[in-house]
Each structure stands twice: as structure tokens, then as C-alpha cells.
């Protein structure tokens, strides 16, 4: 058996003769080098893992990161107090282990809020900023519904809410999708609206104002123009001593008058 092996050398561009013993030694050195690299890598990885573990353990168990304060940004004191009560369970919990989206999802179940933002302020503060739905109307059927300008129900009750918003009676149906909110907003903020007005929403007559037990049907569009029309017509009827049961002003180009003794079109 040959004691030598010919190995091509890129350095010399030719085959080099080496002894088998030298070849075995070189192979052993390569193997030891690979083992050393593996051991170094394992040591670095283990040290890094241990360091990360220690850091995570510290961050998630240290009293320094326990929630000590919950700051609430809300317009009303009632809302602030309500949120403090709901979120009080997070006091003492680790700030790193709290998921803001869980809190947001929990608060979204409450119909009073339009927008909710939850964020953390390290080392120990939780901040909640809420945009509340603003009451616009109170609807009354067999119970009271408090709604905003978008027609979203804020809350319901069998007792009247102690809130200064217009009260509208309705007789059932899909009233939330039928009420002309924009038109009502213009009418409520006009010089025509009075707080003691009795207003109904009756299909198919739309917005209906009850004045001296007389129904004034205004429909759903151009409420200001139609009420102006009613005031002019009311003046004429007073001058002519004409009594009526109702006036239908749903149409822009005409009015239907129901006198006590029969019908008349204007």
C-alpha cells in the first residue's frame, strides 16, 4: 500500500505529494476546527437565550412595570368614572402582559363610544382616550331610545333620560333608518324650533308637528321651507276663521288642508 497521496494544489497548479500520515493529521485538524466552531456557536446561542430569558422574566415580573395609574381622557366626568371602574381590574397587572386590543374590544361592547384608543406609557401607566357619541334625539315608543346624529342607539330605557335633547314620538317600524337626521338638525337649530314642540314621526307622513291638537305633516325634506309655508298659511286661515284638522305639506308645490267640515286643496 502506498505511503503517499497525490493532492492537486491550487497554489502551485500541480499535484503535490503528501504522506498519508500528514493527510490524516490535516483531516483531524479540520474535524477539530468544526467541533470548536459548533461549541462556540452553541455557547453563544445558550448565553443569548439565557440573557433574553432573564430579560423577559425581569420585564414581566418586575414591580416596576406593574400598572399603577390609569389615565382616562373623556369629555364627561360620568364617562371617566365609568371607565375607571371597568378598567380598575388592570391595576397591579404587568404592563407588558396587557393587550390594548383586548381592552378596546371590551369597551366597544358599550354603545356610548364612537372611538376608543388604548396605549401604554412605560413604566406603569395605561392611557385610554375615548370619543363619545353625542346625544341628538330621544325617541319614544314603548321605551325611550337615545340616539346620535348617525342614527346609532346610545342607550335605551323605560324611563325618560335626563338629557336636554328634542323628544320625538314614533309608532314603530324601521324608524332609525327613516328619520331625516340632517333635516331635523337644521330644523332644531333654526328659529322655528321651540322646546315645547310636540313632534312625531309617522309613516308615511314623516315628521309631524302637533300644534293645538292639529297635525302638521312636513314629510322628510325641506322642513324649514315647509314650516315657513305653514306659518304663512296659518296666518291666512286665522284671518278667514277657518278651522282645520290637519295640513299636509309633504309636497313642495302644494298643501292639502282638511277643514273641520271637509277637504280643501290649496
What is the band of 3 on the pLDDT scale with cuts at 50, 70, 90?
A: low
Q: How far apart are CA 136 and CA 138, in angstroms?
A: 7
Write down the architecture of domain 64-132 according to CATH: Roll (3.10)
CA distances in angstroms from 113 to 66, 71, 89, 165, listed in the order given: 27, 17, 20, 18
11-15, 162-166, 209-213, 238-242: least confidently modelled range: 11-15
HSE of 34, CA atoms in CB hemisphere, 13 A: 6
Looking at residue 103, what is its pLDDT?
94
Looking at residue 13, what is its pLDDT?
55
| Residue 54: pLDDT over 80 | yes
Q: Which residues pair with 117 in a beta bridge?
A: 129
CA distances in angstroms from 72 to 87, 108, 119, listed in the order given: 10, 16, 11
Looking at residue 21, what is its pLDDT?
56
Average pLDDT, the chain: 86
Class of domain 137-265: alpha beta
Q: How far apart are CA 249 and CA 187, in angstroms?
A: 15
Q: How far apart are CA 216 and CA 230, in angstroms?
A: 8
Amino acid at each position: 500500500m502506498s505511503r503517499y497521496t497525490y493532492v492537486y494544489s491550487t497554489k502551485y497548479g500541480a499535484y503535490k505529494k503528501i504522506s498519508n500520515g500528514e493527510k490524516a493529521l490535516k483531516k483531524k485538524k479540520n474535524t477539530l476546527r468544526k467541533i470548536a466552531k459548533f461549541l462556540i456557536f452553541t455557547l453563544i446561542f445558550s448565553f443569548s437565550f439565557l440573557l433574553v430569558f432573564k430579560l423577559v422574566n425581569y420585564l414581566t415580573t418586575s414591580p416596576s412595570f406593574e400598572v399603577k395609574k390609569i389615565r382616562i381622557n373623556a369629555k364627561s366626568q360620568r364617562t371617566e368614572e365609568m371607565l375607571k371602574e371597568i378598567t380598575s381590574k388592570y391595576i397591579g397587572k404587568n404592563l407588558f402582559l396587557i393587550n390594548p386590543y383586548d381592552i378596546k374590544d371590551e369597551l366597544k361592547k358599550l354603545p356610548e363610544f364612537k372611538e376608543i384608543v388604548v396605549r401604554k406609557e412605560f413604566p406603569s401607566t395605561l392611557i385610554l382616550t375615548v370619543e363619545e357619541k353625542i346625544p341628538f334625539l330621544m325617541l319614544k315608543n314603548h321605551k325611550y331610545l337615545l340616539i346620535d346624529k348617525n342614527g346609532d342607539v346610545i342607550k335605551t330605557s323605560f324611563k325618560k333620560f335626563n338629557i336636554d335633547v328634542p323628544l320625538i314620538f314614533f309608532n314603530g317600524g324601521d324608524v332609525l333608518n327613516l328619520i331625516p337626521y340632517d333635516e331635523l338638525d337644521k330644523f332644531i337649530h333654526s328659529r322655528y324650533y321651540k322646546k315645547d314642540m310636540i313632534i312625531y314621526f309617522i309613516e308615511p307622513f314623516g315628521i309631524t308637528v302637533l300644534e293645538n291638537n292639529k297635525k302638521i305633516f312636513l314629510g322628510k325634506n325641506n322642513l324649514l321651507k315647509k314650516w315657513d309655508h305653514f306659518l304663512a298659511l296659518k296666518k291666512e286661515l286665522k284671518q278667514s276663521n277657518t278651522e282645520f284638522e290637519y295640513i299636509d305639506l309633504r309636497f313642495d308645490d302644494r298643501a292639502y288642508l282638511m277643514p273641520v267640515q271637509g277637504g280643501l286643496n290649496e
